[in-house]
């Protein structure tokens, strides 16, 4: 399935400055794997050394947090949007 993965601003530097990437995938895990094989630098920002998604990065399929779906086994269909939403803190500085 062709799905769009939205790359958040703090991570665009590691994804060739792109705002989003189209990949073929049937699950969130496949989609993220496709993105990180294309952009190797992105991997360490998304995943810890043991291969798990970092806890300050959330992933959504359309508007639902995958932690409340089937995590990275959540299936995706054509036209779905996967959003990567990291923690940001700027505000007063």
Residues with Cβ < 8 Å from 6, sequence gap 6 or more? 19, 20, 81, 82, 83, 84
Which C-beta is closer to other proteins: that of 15 or that of 32? Answer: 15
Query: From the CB of 35, what's the least distance to other proteins, in Å?
Result: 17
Cβ atoms 32, 66 nearer than 8 A:
no
- Name the residue with tokens 């601003």: 9
**Which one among 36, 39, 60, 80 touches other proteins, defined by CB under 8 A?**
60
Q: Is 19 in the site for other proteins (CB under 8 A)?
A: yes
Q: Which stretch binds other proteins (CB under 8 A): 11-19, 23-31, 71-79?
A: 11-19
Instruction: Compute the distance between CA of residue 19 and CA of residue 89 in angstroms, rounded to an integer.
Output: 20
Q: What residue ranges bind other proteins (CB under 8 A)? A: 8-10, 13-14, 19, 41, 45, 54-56, 58, 60, 63-65, 67-68, 83, 85-93
């Amino acid at each position: 399935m062709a799905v769009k993965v939205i790359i958040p601003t703090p991570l665009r530097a590691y994804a060739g400055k792109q705002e989003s990437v189209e990949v073929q995938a049937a699950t969130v895990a496949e989609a993220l794997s496709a993105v990180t094989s294309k952009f190797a630098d992105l991997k360490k920002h998304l995943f810890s050394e043991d291969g798990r998604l970092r806890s300050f990065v959330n992933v959504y399929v359309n508007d639902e947090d995958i932690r409340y779906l089937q995590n990275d086994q959540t299936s995706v269909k054509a036209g779905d949007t996967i959003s990567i939403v990291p923690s940001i803190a700027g505000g007063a500085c």
